[in-house]
Amino acid sequence: MSIAGRVTIPADADGAWLRGISVAASSASGASSGYAAVDPGSGAYIISGLSPDSYRLRFNVSPYWDGSASVSPNLVSEYYDNVTDYNLDRVTVG
């Protein structure tokens, strides 16, 4: 089973910042987890190989190398549904 989606960033943000975003899924039971990098062109992601459960999604922002320097996107890591602190919103798989 999988979770798929598309990350969007503010319209005035540098589109290259998608290169610094990844998505992590952790199940409520603790039995399953997954991780995916975000496609830097489209913002799409897919986390495969998940067991049926409910999952907390965290969208992580990290520095990335642009070929000549480290870039730190001016974005905030957040959970599913635009929440910036630990929350109870989950995505159900299966």
Cα separation, 47 vs 27, whole angstroms: 12
pTM of structure: 0.88
pLDDT digits 0-9 by tens, 7-63: 999 999 999 999 999 999 999 888 889 999 999 999 999 999 999 999 999 999 999
**Domain with 69 in it:** 3-93
Report pLDDT for 55: 94
Cα separation, 79 vs 82, whole angstroms: 6
Report pLDDT for 6: 96
Give yes or no for residue 77 having a pLDDT over 90. Answer: yes
Of the candidate ranges 1-5, 14-18, 65-69, 89-93, the one whose mean pLDDT is the lowest: 89-93
